[in-house]
Structure 1
Amino acid sequence: MAGTVPAPQPPPGPPPRPLFWPWRANPLRRRTDTARAWLGLGVLLAVLAVAPLAGALVGDAAHRHYQDVARHQQQTRHLADATLLHDAPRHPEPGSDEEKKTRYPVEVRVVTREGRTRTTRAEVAPGLTADSIVTIWVDSDGEATDAPLTGKEVRSRAAGWALLTAIGVALAGAAVHAVTGFVLHRRNLARWAAAWAETAPRWTTPT
């Protein structure tokens, strides 16, 4: 409607800074601004150079470690027939997908390669009755254990360590940049306070 007074608008914010403003001549640019900009660039380049290298080195070391673990497990673990000593609990939802994935710990009896009979606890499917026979992995002492690591698991764990290492390098770089930025900001505040302490008496008049 004509003659309507428009609602007051908030004052415009500061104009966006150009991408390379810390390196451009500017009367408002401080030495700390330039120092922080160079530091940020240096940290970024260092992270980009170090993170892949550190990840590759750690990933290779982890891969060799888990390969040794897998070989040791293959030498010390084997499949054995185990006889249930008690009935396994029944799942509350028979026939469900959850039942197919659920396992319950039950005491079983196994015979080791040396012919010794051992009693151990193994994870078995729900609803199995006593005297049922299941095949489980056992170690050299006849204790139930997990299957040896597969090649896929070895690669997955090594890749995980490589990724964690690369992320750690990036986080360390971000922490260095944040701490130095905080120190430079505190230095700016101290300089501002000193400059104001020198300028303030000129603005005040004796009463």
Structure 2
Amino acid sequence: MAGETPPAQPPPGPPPRPLLWRWRHNPLRRRTDTLHAWIGLGALIAVLAVAPVAAVLVGDAARRHYEDTARHQNLTRYETTGTLTEDAPRHPEPGSDEERKTRYPAEVRVVTREGRTRTMRTEVRPGLTADNTVRLWITADGEATDPPLSAEEVRSRTMGWSLLAAIGVALTGAAAHALAGLALRRRNLADWDTAWAETAPRWTTPT
């Protein structure tokens, strides 16, 4: 219709630009471009500063937790000998590497420290027959359980939590930068609409 201002058409997505283009002086650079660059630099510095600290703090907390867990397990668990009361299943590939790593649940009879005879299920090598003896860990209550955490397991879990903490900080910084970029893009579009509303009437001719 005559006299109507056509809707603003935002510019297409930004073409590939050289590295650090937001820092270079040029007539097309907007204040939001410079602001976005400073936000990105600040996020990078923050991540580089905070990630190592977070990794150390989280790793130290995880190490103390798992060391306490290992000490408690060593106090409340002990290794003993059990006797199979049934044949363990045979592996379909005897002599293979997989057979050496595979364990099957089987019923064993154990005499606890208190002299009580208990029957329980535990993981054993495939192919063992009844009356064979196996080593297993049991709790103070006489239940089969896993061995206490080893020093290597404590180190591995500690390193895992440290790495997760560092990655978490990096992802948080990236998310903050992305959200800032989205907010600045919306601001640019709003400014574009305002500028177009002022300019478009000069380009329209009444009919």
| Structure 1 unaligned regions, length at least 5 | 1-12
Q: Equivalents in 2 of 1:14, 1:183: separation in Å?
A: 20
Aligned to 1:90: 90
Letter aligned with residue 39 of structure 1: I
Aligned to 2:197: 197
Q: Deviation digits for residues 57-99 of structure 1, max 9, x if unmatched?
A: 0001110111101111111111111111111111111111111
Aligned to 2:42: 42
Letter aligned with residue 113 of structure 1: R
Cα distance change of structure 1 residues 37 and 111 upon mapping to structure 2, 3 Å threshold: same
1:65 is paired with a residue of what secondary structure? helix
1:173 is paired with a residue of what secondary structure? helix
Question: Shift in Å at residue 132 of structure 1?
Answer: 1.4
Letter aligned with residue 110 of structure 1: V
Question: Shift in Å at residue 24 of structure 1?
Answer: 3.2
Q: Equivalents in 1 of 2:67, 2:182: separation in Å?
A: 45
**1:20-169 matched pairs, under 5 angstroms:** 20-169=20-169
Question: Shift in Å at residue 140 of structure 1?
Answer: 0.9
Question: Shift in Å at residue 145 of structure 1?
Answer: 1.1
Aligned to 2:7: none
Q: Equivalents in 2 of 1:135, 1:142: separation in Å?
A: 14
Normalising by the residue count of structure 2, what TM-score does the alignment of the two structures yield?
0.90
Letter aligned with residue 98 of structure 1: E
Q: Equivalents in 2 of 1:26, 1:16: separation in Å?
A: 13
Question: Shift in Å at residue 165 of structure 1?
Answer: 0.2
1:82 is paired with a residue of what secondary structure? strand
Q: Equivalents in 1 of 2:106, 2:15: separation in Å?
A: 70
Question: Shift in Å at residue 129 of structure 1?
Answer: 1.1
Q: Equivalents in 1 of 2:29, 2:100: separation in Å?
A: 67
2:162 is paired with a residue of what secondary structure? helix
Q: Equivalents in 2 of 1:99, 1:14: separation in Å?
A: 57
Q: Equivalents in 1 of 2:156, 2:97: separation in Å?
A: 26
Aligned to 1:10: none
Q: Equivalents in 1 of 2:100, 2:25: separation in Å?
A: 70
2:121 is paired with a residue of what secondary structure? strand
Question: Shift in Å at residue 15 of structure 1?
Answer: 7.5
Question: Shift in Å at residue 14 of structure 1?
Answer: 5.9
Question: Shift in Å at residue 21 of structure 1?
Answer: 3.2
1:106 is paired with a residue of what secondary structure? strand
Q: Equivalents in 1 of 2:138, 2:16: separation in Å?
A: 70
Cα distance change of structure 1 residues 20 and 102 upon mapping to structure 2, 3 Å threshold: closer
Normalising by the residue count of structure 1, what TM-score does the alignment of the two structures yield?
0.90
1:109 is paired with a residue of what secondary structure? strand
The number of residues matched between the two structures is: 194
2:145 is paired with a residue of what secondary structure? coil
1:167 is paired with a residue of what secondary structure? helix
Cα distance change of structure 1 residues 72 and 92 upon mapping to structure 2, 3 Å threshold: same
| Structure 2 unaligned regions, length at least 5 | 1-13
